[in-house]
Amino acid sequence: MSGGAWPLRTYPTLFVLAFVAAFAPFACLGTEPSHDGSPRVHAFYYLWYGNPEVDGKYLHWDHEVLPHWAPATRAKFAHGHRHDVANGEIHSPFYPARGLYSSSDPQLLDSHMQELSQAGVGAIVLSWWGQASRDGTSDTQGVQTDHTIAHAIAAVERAGNMQWAVHMEPYPGRTAESVREDVNYLLHR
Amino acid sequence: MQPARGQHNVRCNELIATFAFKHGRFGNSSAWLRINDRRVFYVYDSYHVAPEDWAKVLKDSTDEAISSSFFVALWLNQNGGDLVRRTDSGVCVVHNVIHVIVLL
């Protein structure tokens, strides 16, 4: 290995990752005083929820039921219909403690960041689907993470004891050169 | 700014460099996670791009944004490590890259 360029040796435990669903209540937490998050624990945070109060409509909570990837399983279950939010049926295995929130709501973001910090998370990795100017960077619900990420970054900054990073998602047509453009875009934004 | 005669192009290039490298609000965020003083990017599904293509971009020391960033690749399958190593020591040495997420 040349140049010592193998940071796993330098940071043997850095990549202990916590995958935390944005909506999962930390019911298992005790009431002990919290401490600052560890930089070794990174949580992946998605920015795609919306509600009528903030966004004018539900986003993702009423996502259609997706087909299973395995044909045999797919054939057994209906799919394609939207979740019936009005009857408490949402596109999530859990019902969020804070209700059907918006990922663009600063107060909601602050309370998530507080919980994440209390859980020992040191870095929030923000799902980002590319520059809004590119085709195909909105998801099927019309969510444009290039816009919502600014709210999340501000919330991490307000929390004061965590850091953030970008989770670069594979938008259509992504190449190494387009990632170069994206990195420049984000640094200069 | 009034450049001295013959200095014009030098001045222009300095100014272009100054503005081109001026970071915005995101780039100036002290809360952006850094490793080895580089801003961290996780790259999901990075194996869809050839290691040689990654290497060409990520070894570009003339790109200030790239050379001040730290990229974390996705190691998903058994051979993913081979791919990462090929990126590291294949076509060229990639000094500011590339390491590994183990998906839980």
Cα separation values, B48 from A2, A54, A137, A153, B79, Å: 25, 36, 17, 28, 13
Contact yes or no for B42 and A14 at CB 8 A: no
The angle that helices A145-159 and A106-118 make with each other, rounded to 10 degrees, is 50
Phi, psi of B80 (to 5 degrees): -60, -35
In chain A, the domains with their CATH numbers are 17-22+36-188 (3.20.20.80)
Specify which of A21-35, A109-123, B71-85 reaches the highest per-range mean pLDDT: A109-123
Reported pTM: 0.74
3-state SS assignment for residue B32: strand
Query: How, if at all, do strands B34-35 and B38-43 pair?
Result: antiparallel
Rounded distance between C-alpha atoms, residue A52 and residue A59, angstroms: 9
Which amino acid is it at A89? Answer: E
User: Per-residue pLDDT tens for B61-101?
Assistant: 899 999 889 888 877 666 665 555 554 433 323 333 444 44
Q: Where are the domains of chain B?
A: 31-102
Query: How, if at all, do strands A38-45 and A121-128 pair?
Result: parallel
User: Per-residue pLDDT tens for A45-63?
Assistant: 999 999 999 999 999 999 9
Residue B37 burial by Cβ neighbours in a 10 Å radius (0-12, 13-18, 19+)? exposed
Residues of A with CB under 8 A from a CB of B: 1-3, 5-8, 11, 14-15, 17, 19, 39, 42, 123, 125, 150, 153, 156-157, 162-170, 174-177, 179-180, 183-184, 186-189
B31 token code pair: 């809360």
